[in-house]
Amino acid sequence: MNAPVLLVLADSLAFHGPTRAEPANEPRLWPNVAASLLGGRAELLAGYGWTARHAWRALTHDPRIWSVMPTVDALVLGVGGMDTLPSPLPTALRELIPALRPDSVRRVVRRGYLAAQPALARTFARVLPGGGPVALPPALSVRYLESCRRAVTAIRPGIPVALMLPGVHRAPAYGYVHPGRPAAVRAMRQWASVVDVRTLDVSCLISDHIRSGQGNPDGIHYGWAGHQLVGRALAALLAPAVGYALGAGRDDGERMLGRDLGRD
């Protein structure tokens, strides 16, 4: 049996640990935890603050990933969560801040925006319909997720696709509010049900981990225990389909994972 390859398109939750960002091959990160339990490896394409739109652009513009595509056995869409975060300043304008010149102007604008963002997010959540603007509206998130799915499955038809639903946060940077999440989850679940994408409800896995302060002090990223929870759940979700795709029976795949997780 060949070792399965998981193509993971993700945001920084996939490579940031309890204190810092980690190299993509750090074995404790959830993509590598899942791939290891499945007897394979993960190919991670990710970035800080990536929305589904960033993943689509990377998928179509990064030639390094094109060489991996013919070997991919499963696609994991670990983007969409950052799309749901409050964005008091329109995303197009916010993403221009790093391009401001001279440097002194950029620093002043960035400090000012970061200082204002928590209060603005709380105010918008209280007074605006739907809680105010988010980094990417649900309809656009779904559109880009579907573009990623179609692009990969056009090259690797029949492989399983898994979507990680937006998690939760306790981030002071966002005023501890997250009003855009419910609408995004509904839209993603509806899309996933239509195109036969498996979903992993990350919030059920890491809510206690995040809210109890076991994760990163920023209130967004996971500690190592959180990475283990997500990685093991993702492996369990993909095991039957990946095993079947590789020639093992569905029951064989489930038994393999049960053995590795210590189950009977």
SS (H, E, C) the chain: CCCCEEEEEEEHHHCECCCCECCCCCCCCHHHHHHHHCCCEEEEEEECCCCHHHHHHHHHHCHHHHCCHHHCCEEEEECCCHHHCECCCCHHHHCCHHHCCCHHHHHHHHHHHHHHHHHHHHHHHHHCHHHCCECCCHHHHHHHHHHHHHHHHHHCCCCCEEEEECCCCCCHHHCCCCCCHHHHHHHHHHHHHHHCCEEEEHHHHHHHHHHCCCCCCCCCCCCHHHHHHHHHHHHHHHHHHHHHHCCCCHHHHHHHHHHHCCCC
* 263, pLDDT greater than 90: no
Confidence at residue 123, expressed as pLDDT on a 0 to 100 scale: 96
Q: What are phi and psi of 161, to 5 degrees?
A: -125, 130
Confidence at residue 1, expressed as pLDDT on a 0 to 100 scale: 52
Place 2 in a pLDDT band, splitting at 50, 70 and 90. confident
* 194, pLDDT greater than 50: yes
Residue 182 CB neighbours (<10 A)? 14
Residue with tokens 């656009």: 140
Place 255 in a pLDDT band, splitting at 50, 70 and 90. very low
- Which domains are assigned to the chain? 5-85+138-260 (3.40.50.1110), 86-133 (no CATH)
Confidence at residue 44, expressed as pLDDT on a 0 to 100 scale: 97
CA gap 114, 55 in Å, rounded: 24
Question: Do 4 and 40 form a contact (C-beta atoms < 8 A)?
Answer: yes
Q: Region 133-144: what's the mean pLDDT?
A: 97
Confidence at residue 242, expressed as pLDDT on a 0 to 100 scale: 86
Distance linking the first and last C-alpha atoms of the chain: 22
Lowest-pLDDT range, 1-5, 11-15, 160-164?
1-5
Of 222, 185, 190, give the one whose Cα is nearest residue 206: 222
* 261, pLDDT greater than 90: no
| Mean pLDDT score of the chain | 91
pLDDT in tens, 52-100: 999 999 999 999 999 999 999 999 999 999 999 999 988 889 989 999 9
Confidence at residue 121, expressed as pLDDT on a 0 to 100 scale: 96
* 230, pLDDT greater than 50: yes
Q: Region 114-130: what's the mean pLDDT?
A: 95
Dihedral sign, Cα of residue 222, residue 224, residue 226, residue 227: positive
CA gap 172, 52 in Å, rounded: 23
* 150, pLDDT greater than 90: yes
Query: C-alpha angle 196/202/205, rounded to 5°?
Result: 130
Of 79, 77, 59, give the one whose Cα is nearest residue 69: 59
CA gap 191, 79 in Å, rounded: 14
* 180, pLDDT greater than 70: yes
CA distances from 119 to 42, 86, 129, 213, 218 (A): 39, 11, 17, 22, 17
What does pTM read for this prediction?
0.89
Confidence at residue 248, expressed as pLDDT on a 0 to 100 scale: 40
